[in-house]
Structure 1
Amino acid sequence: MGEFEEFAEALFGQLSVEINEEKEIMQLAINAREDIARKVEFKELEEIANEIFPDFKDKVQDFLGVKVADDLQLKFPELEDLKRLKGDKVFADPESKEFVKKLFNAVAKEDLKIIAELMKENTAKYLVYSTYAIQYISKITTTYGDYLDSVIYLNKFILSRYPQIILHKQGEPYESRFENVNSGYLGAVKMTVLEELIHSAQGNLHQINKNAAMEVNRINEELA
């Protein structure tokens, strides 16, 4: 194994706890879905979010006194797409943006070969942006929502699985325990939509922070 491949393995070594947790969540959700099927049923995440979105949008506008963008959308990414999205959130200049996109895509696919090739291609960029991959991706299982470029992203990987897993862990009878778990599920979706609507209304501040972060990352590339 070459030096670059070893560094690629080291990257996944730092993410091993998160990757194992993601796999465990997937398996727990499969088991839960099979066991509670035909006994109780949770509403789809998309249905809940789209139902509350217009009303919550109006409430945020009234409360903040700031107009929320008319073209604001909701999207519901699964795990791989969430990891790619985290790459889009890295504030890189145009010259580095494509590198970041490739890096996060390779991490999402757990592709050691591509990661090693990217490090060989530009070690300085890799050293700067692999830290973002570790930092951002390690938070996926604890982050319910995100906002970027007029789109609110709801973490379907977590939000659509946790209610089933929680109910399954509580055990039978599912019917009598459903209402309490479902209430928590609905509350989590509502709070996430509300939080990201507020983030979306802070567009000017976001752009200022973005420009500053891009400049810091450019300097870090030169120093690496």
Structure 2
Amino acid sequence: MGEYEEFAEALFGQLSVEIDEEKEITQLAIKAKEGLADKVQFKELEDITREIFPVFKDKVEDFLGVKVPDDIQLKFPELEELKKMKGDKVFADKEAKKYVTELFHAVAKEDLKKIAELMQQDTPKYLVYSTYAIQYISKITTTYGDYLDSVIYLNKFILSKYPQIILYKQGEPYESRFENVNSGYLGAVKMTVLEELIHSAQENLQQVNKNAAMEVNKINEELANIILSLDTETVNKLSEYCQLQTVPDNFPFAKKANLFFFLNPDHFLIEQIGPDVMTFTHVEIDPKIEESIPQLLGIYKRWLV
């Protein structure tokens, strides 16, 4: 197995808790469906949502005093489709967007071979956008809904399975316990629809955030290119100076990846430097680091603007 394949495995290692939980939920849902059989029946997620949506839309408009778009759609993706959709929430330019879509589709399908190919195809982009895949997909089982481009997404994998699993785990008699569990189910759906309707009323703010995120991702890609172009001696020297985890010499990509993740503005400026020595217009970095990567200070200043 080559270094790229091993690095792809490491990505799934970081997602292992989430993936294991998804499998457990799937297995429990099958048992719950069989156990509950015809004894009790929860209303379909789609039916509940479409019933409450117009009422909640009016209430949100009245409360916020802001018009909610009339063209909002409702979608109910299962697990794999929801993971793919998360890639749409990564804001990047046209060239990078195609790469992000392929990456998220590969992660959704747990296609290690494809991920390794994408890593080799454009390593800087992988370093930047794989972090989004880990961040977004690792929270799937705790995410009930989402909003993007006039579409409200409700997590069917979770919302339609949890009530059955909860009731099944409570045990017999299911009929007498149903009302309490069903109340929680309805409350979760209502809360999710309400939250995403509020998000839908913030289109202008979302556009500002989208533009800012695209610029940040471009800067991060630039930094990734710089670090990947460093020679072995410089990488080893910086890794030792920054006290990064030791990586064997036969894993050069992993060494550079560790350095990128450490010097990435999101990590380095916030967690390493901190606000006490940084303002929105000024930042100082260790001279020894700047000596090896003279472009770094300029990148950080642009990131802060």
TM-score by length of 1: 0.99
User: What is aligned with 1:70?
Assistant: 70
User: What is aligned with 1:177?
Assistant: 177
Structure 1 letter corresponding to 2:160: S
Distance between the aligned counterparts of 2:37 and 2:211, measured in 1?
49
Distance between the aligned counterparts of 1:39 and 1:50, measured in 2?
25
1:91 matched to 2:91? The reply is: yes
Task: Give the match's secondary structure for 1:92.
Answer: coil
Task: Give the match's secondary structure for 2:135.
Answer: helix
Distance between the aligned counterparts of 2:200 and 2:70, measured in 1?
11
Equivalenced residue count is 224
Mapping for residues 143-154 of structure 1, pairs under 5 Å: 143-154=143-154
Higher relative contact order (CA 8 A, sep 6+): 1
Structure 2 letter corresponding to 1:22: E
CA distances 1:19-50 after superposition (whole Å, capped 9, x unpaired): 01000000000000000011000000000000
User: What is aligned with 2:195?
Assistant: 195
The CA RMSD measured in Å over matched residues stands at 0.4
User: What is aligned with 1:208?
Assistant: 208
User: What is aligned with 1:40?
Assistant: 40
CA distances 1:174-220 after superposition (whole Å, capped 9, x unpaired): 00000000000000000000000000000000000110011000100
Task: Give the match's secondary structure for 2:86.
Answer: helix
Task: Give the match's secondary structure for 1:103.
Answer: helix
Task: Give the match's secondary structure for 1:102.
Answer: helix
Task: Give the match's secondary structure for 1:77.
Answer: coil
Distance between the aligned counterparts of 2:52 and 2:16, measured in 1?
36
Identity %: 83
User: What is aligned with 1:101?
Assistant: 101
1:91 CA drift (Å): 1.1
Distance between the aligned counterparts of 2:78 and 2:38, measured in 1?
24
CA distances 1:47-79 after superposition (whole Å, capped 9, x unpaired): 000000011111111111111111001100000
Distance between the aligned counterparts of 1:38 and 1:157, measured in 2?
21
| Structure 2 portions without partners, runs of 5+ | 225-305
TM-score by length of 2: 0.73
Distance between the aligned counterparts of 1:152 and 1:175, measured in 2?
32
1:172 CA drift (Å): 0.3
Name which one, 1 or 2, has greater alpha-carbon Rg. 2
User: What is aligned with 1:168?
Assistant: 168
| Structure 1 portions without partners, runs of 5+ | none
1:135 CA drift (Å): 0.3
User: What is aligned with 2:234?
Assistant: none
Distance between the aligned counterparts of 2:93 and 2:193, measured in 1?
29
Distance between the aligned counterparts of 2:203 and 2:60, measured in 1?
14
After the TM superposition, which segments of 4 or more aligned residues of structure 1 sit over 3 Å from their partners? none
Structure 1 letter corresponding to 2:54: P
User: What is aligned with 1:132?
Assistant: 132
